[in-house]
Amino acid sequence: MRHIAIIGSGPAGYYTAEAAQKTFDDNVRVDVFDRLPVPYGLIRTGVAPDHQSIKGVSKRYEKVALSENVRFVGNVSIGEQLSIEELRGLYDAVVLATGAPHDRPLDIPGANLGNVFGSAAFVGWYNGHPQFAELDPDLQGRTAVVIGMGNVALDVARILAKTRAEFAGSDIVTHALDALQASRIERIVILGRRGPHQIMMTPKELGELGDLEQASPHVAPADLPAPEEDALLEPGLRKSVSHLRSFAAIPDSQRAGKPKAIDFVFMSSPKALIGNDKVEEIEVERTQLVHGRAEGTGETYRIPADLVVSCIGYRTSPIPGVPFDERAGRFANDEGRITPGLYCVGWARRGPSGTIGTNRPDGYSVIEKIGEDIASGALGPARKPGRAGFDALAAERKLDVVTFRDWKKIEEAEERAAREGAPREKFVDIEAMIRARR
Ligand code: NAP
């Protein structure tokens, strides 16, 4: 019998558990750890609350979680309550599926002003992550600036633009829904340091901006390259750019019927945030493309900004003793292998890119590496205690482990508390989650 510990119960964690099950069959036991008492990581607290069809993939993870050889071990923080070294002593293989929970820092003057948030915090706030439930962003100003032109920027802009009715069927937490309903934001600027051909937004998600009840997307026609240049783009990006072209073609008469505007501002790099305690303006520098990179032209201008959300990517949390690639913001690894016995997968391996589905091949590939290391003898004989060893240590340290069965009770309580038409009302407080299991 081989024992695998997976740290993190998001998509990367559960696809890896599924791959272990399919590959090693009944010769493996897998424990999936999470520091929260609830599973599914980014599916629960990252994927937008109005994208329920994407969140549906958790049903697949549940099937894995309910099988005999996989176990959920919630409410245990590896690196704090238990070290990686201790875990490596208990399991044949430890796989870090810890994602990239920290914002890539917006390294400009004024970034510490009030009402400036990174996307991890802002998305965590509307998605009910316990760490960010108290964020309390001020939505009473007129203009929000969302920095970055990826799918996270799109999520944030869309959430800021939607009406209460448009959140029907979503699991946005009520504290955020109420704050958004009372919002006075009329203009949402999506700020990119490069041009329309360099956006990182996927077509389906970008297209959604064209169908909002109260908000209209705006692209200045002069910002778009000549149409014939689109032919050189890969098909997905070409489709996204065609959405930008259709936004540029929306007549003013149609725009006038909608009180909110989502303005795309290209070729402008953030230089400073300006304000007293709270942000009031953002200073940007016009850029030009040099070999595809944004280079400053020296010309600066300011945009009013009562709220700033920086959506410029994420970094993995370093863990003491595990080699870290500072520049890339993830664990140093060779195709998922950090060293025989210690692996990483998903965003912790490759950085914050790709869709939820990208984690599936990633999970299978890391299990293949573990298989190779077992076959070569690099992991030694099958003598590790696995679960039994962890349970003994957990009892000794009095860890309050939350099981999958406990999670199902928490889930039932969340479903019972749901607003009408919503799938659940998430607990945003760890103690409340723990109480619900009882
Ligand atoms: P992303 O796709 O890498 O986009 C990051 C954006 O930030 C880029 O436009 C980038 O511009 C910009 N940026 C980076 N550093 C900057 C700086 N210093 N100043 C100004 N702009 C800067 O990252 P993401 O939006 O965080 O998304 C992460 C991953 O999750 C992506 O793979 C995304 O597709 C995925 N995701 C998918 C969905 C979905 O499918 N529905 C939803 C959310 C996220 P440059 O290109 O110039 O560097």
The DSSP line for 234-285 is -HHHHHHHHHHHHHHT--HHHHHT-SEEEEEE-SEEEEEEEESSBEEEEEEE
Q: Residue type at 361?
A: P
Q: For residue 97, which of 384, 308, 333 has the smallest C-alpha distance?
A: 333
What DSSP designation does 399 have?
-
In sequence order, which residues have a C-beta less than 8 Å from that of residue 233 and are 6 or more positions away? 197, 241
Count the domains in the chain. Answer: 2
Average the pLDDT over 403-428 and give the result: 97
Residues 106-130 pLDDT 10s: 999 999 999 999 999 999 999 999 9
Q: What tokens does 284 get?
A: 């940007």
Nearest to 419 by CA among 177, 209, 102: 177
- The whole-angstrom separation of Cα 192 and Cα 273 is 16
φ, ψ of residue 382 in degrees (nearest 5): -80, 80
Q: Are residues 428 and 337 in the same domain?
A: yes
In this structure, how many other beta carbons lie within 10 angstroms of the beta carbon of residue 105?
Answer: 12
Q: Out of 159, 193, 356, give the residue to mutate to test ligand 1, the one with the largest number of ligand atoms within 8 Å of its CB.
A: 193
Which atom of ligand 1 is closest in space to residue 104's alpha carbon?
15
Q: What is the mean pLDDT of residues 357-367?
A: 96
Identify which has the larger pLDDT, 255 or 57.
Answer: 57
Last residue of a domain, which of 296, 314, 332? 314
Q: Are residues 71 and 143 both part of a single domain?
A: no
C-alpha–C-alpha distance, residues 337 and 356, integer Å:
21
* Nearest residue by C-alpha to atom 12 in ligand 1: 148
How many degrees, rounded to 5, is the angle at CA 162 between CA 157 and CA 163?
160
pLDDT at 106: 95
Helix (H) or strand (E) holding 324: strand 324-325
Q: Is a pLDDT exceeding 90 seen at residue 255?
A: no
pLDDT tens string 49-88: 999 999 999 999 999 999 999 999 999 999 899 999 999 9
Tell the residue nearest (CA) to atom 33 of ligand 1: 151
Distance from C-alpha of 95 to C-alpha of 87, rounded to nearest angstrom? 10
pLDDT band at residue 272, thresholds of 50, 70 and 90? very high
The pLDDT of residue 253 is: 87
For helices 359-375 and 11-24, give the axis angle rounded to 10 degrees.
Answer: 40
Residue 200 Cβ inside 6 Å of ligand 1? The answer reads yes
d(CA 73, CA 37): 8
Q: Are residues 54 and 47 in contact, defined by beta-carbon separation less than 8 angstroms?
A: yes
Cα 152 to averaged position of ligand 1 atoms, centre (Å):
6
- Give the range of the structural domain holding residue 422, as residue numbers without chain letter: 2-101+316-437
Model pLDDT, residue 254: 87
Q: Give the containing element (helix H, strand E) for 373.
A: helix 359-375
Of 5, 3, 10, 4, residue with least CA distance to 316 = 10
Contacts of 131 (CB under 8 A, 6+ apart): 124
Q: Do 42 and 110 reside in the same domain of the chain?
A: no
The answer to whether residues 212 and 271 belong to one domain is: yes
The yes-or-no verdict on residue 320 having pLDDT over 90 is no
Q: Are 184 and 217 in contact (CB under 8 A)?
A: no
| 195-247 pLDDT per residue, tens | 999 999 999 999 999 999 999 999 999 999 999 999 999 999 999 999 999 99
Q: Which of 116, 119, 151 gets mutated to test ligand 1 (max ligand atoms within 8 A of its CB)?
A: 151
Residue 269 Cα to ligand 1 middle (Å): 14
Residue ending a domain, among 314, 346, 369, is 314
pTM of the entire structure? 0.97
Which residue in this structure is represented by tokens 């997905």? 236
Which residues are CB-contacts of 276 (< 8 A; sequence separation ≥ 6)?
none
pLDDT of residue 438 exceeding 90: no
pLDDT at 256: 85
Q: Tokens representing 15? A: 């696809």
Please identify, by atom number, the ligand 1 atom nearest to the C-alpha of residue 46. 43
Distance 312 CA to ligand 1 centre (A): 5
| 184 lies in the same domain as 222 | yes
Residues 138 and 259 in one domain: yes
At 31, list the tokens. Answer: 């424990």
Q: How far is the CA of 359 from the centre of ligand 1 (A)?
A: 17
Looking at the chain, the whole-number percentage of residues with pLDDT higher than 90 is 97
Which of 314, 329, 362 marks a domain boundary? 314
Helix count and strand count (H, E) for the chain = 16, 19
Q: Give the separation between CA 220 and CA 278, rounded to whole angstroms.
A: 29
Residue 30 belongs to domain with CATH number: 3.40.50.720
Count of beta carbons in the 10 Å neighbourhood of residue 216: 21
> 149: exposed, middle or buried (C-beta count within 10 Å: 0-12, 13-18, 19+)?
buried
Stretch 151-165: mean pLDDT, rounded? 98
CA quadruple 384, 390, 391, 397: dihedral positive or negative? positive
Residues 211 and 226 in one domain: yes
Q: Are residues 300 and 370 in the same domain?
A: no
What CATH number is given to the structural domain containing 112?
Answer: 3.50.50.60
Say if residue 133 is in the same domain as residue 94. Answer: no
Is pLDDT above 90 for 3? yes
According to the model, what pLDDT value does residue 261 have? Answer: 97
d(C-alpha 233, C-alpha 106), whole Å = 29
Q: What is the pLDDT of residue 390?
A: 98
The answer on 141 and 244 residing in a single domain is yes
Quick one: 258 and 396 in the same domain?
no
The mean of the pLDDT values for the chain is 97
Same domain flag for 399 and 341: yes
